[in-house]
């Protein structure tokens, strides 16, 4: 059987529009979605993911690889499994051989489906990672793509204090020493939480004990604290009014 296998875009220097400069490690996605590891590729936990979408490999399994993006996760659901189950053993082995010869980050089976022996054979041959989830395909893909958007969203760094005032995000900026932290402290006394601010290490300079909305990192019932480039964030995720949908 003949296959159409033109040179993929990434080898021609054409980058997919869904690719970003940020990345998330495959190991983080596995942990987030509690994915079952069926076969591990080399250093699979540190494989970087930089695309905002995933692939259903129905067409590649049939031999059509034009515009096939090898940087995307592959999600194999009931439709693909049913299609491949109708193949002869020889053709099935050839299909998985062709598919997994590409450096894909991982192949994920949904619905608790057992992978074909030919799939596992080729995963071992090429050192590809095979994962499984019990979730339904559509629901899992929706959650996965949403997670990738969160992980890979564009980021900027600003020096200042970010506060939530009556549901609106307010950013105070200025040079060091002009009183940004003092403004935040007064705002917190009035019940407006600080979302993030560039400041000193909380271990060396604990926040004032009399500020009810400025709990110390690690306090029981306190805010989740994320440290990045000198910033302390007291709200890990949120959507501000007027923000673009999906942003």
Q: What global pTM score does this model have?
A: 0.65
Of the candidates 135, 182, 142, 175, the residue with the CA atom closest to the CA atom of residue 158:
175
What's the CA gap between 211 and 136, in Å, rounded? 46
Q: How far apart are the first and last CA of the chain?
A: 45
pLDDT per residue as tens digits for the range 164-210: 888 787 877 877 777 777 777 777 767 777 666 554 223 333 344 44
- 69, 90 contact by CB (below 8 A): no
Which pLDDT tens digit goes with each residue over 119-153?
999 999 999 999 999 999 999 999 999 999 989 88
3-state secondary structure of 200: coil
**Residue 18 to residues 10, 79, 148, 149, 243, Cα–Cα distance (Å):** 13, 25, 11, 10, 20
Specify the 3-state DSSP secondary structure of 4: strand
- 174/62 Cα distance (integer angstroms): 59
b/e per residue 198-225 (b: at least 16 CB within 10 A): bbeeeeeeebeeebebbbebeeeeebeb
The pLDDT tens digits of the residues spanning 33-71 come to: 999 999 999 999 999 999 989 999 999 999 999 999 999
């Amino acid at each position: 059987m003949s296959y159409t296998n033109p040179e993929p875009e990434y080898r021609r220097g054409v980058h997919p529009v869904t690719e970003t400069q940020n990345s998330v490690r495959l190991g983080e996605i596995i942990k987030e979605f509690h994915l079952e590891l069926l076969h591990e590729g080399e250093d699979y936990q540190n494989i970087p993911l930089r695309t905002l979408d995933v692939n259903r490999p129905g067409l590649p399994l049939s031999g059509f690889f034009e515009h096939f993006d090898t940087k995307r996760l592959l999600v194999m659901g009931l439709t693909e499994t049913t299609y491949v189950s109708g193949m002869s053993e020889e053709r099935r082995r050839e299909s998985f051989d062709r598919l997994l010869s590409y450096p894909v980050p991982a192949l994920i089976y949904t619905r608790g489906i057992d992978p074909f022996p030919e799939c596992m054979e080729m995963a071992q041959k090429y050192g590809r990672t095979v994962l499984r989830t019990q979730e339904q395909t559509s629901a899992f893909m929706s959650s996965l793509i949403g997670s990738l958007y969160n992980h890979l969203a564009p980021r900027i760094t600003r020096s200042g204090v970010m506060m939530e005032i009556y549901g609106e995000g307010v950013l105070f900026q200025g040079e060091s020493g002009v009183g940004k932290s003092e403004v935040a402290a007064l705002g917190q006394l009035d019940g407006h939480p600080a979302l993030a601010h560039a400041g000193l290490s909380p271990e060396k300079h604990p926040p004032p004990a009399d500020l009810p909305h400025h709990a110390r990192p690690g306090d029981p019932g306190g805010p989740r604290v994320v440290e990045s480039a000198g910033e302390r964030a007291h709200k890990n995720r949120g959507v501000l009014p007027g923000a673009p949908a999906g942003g």
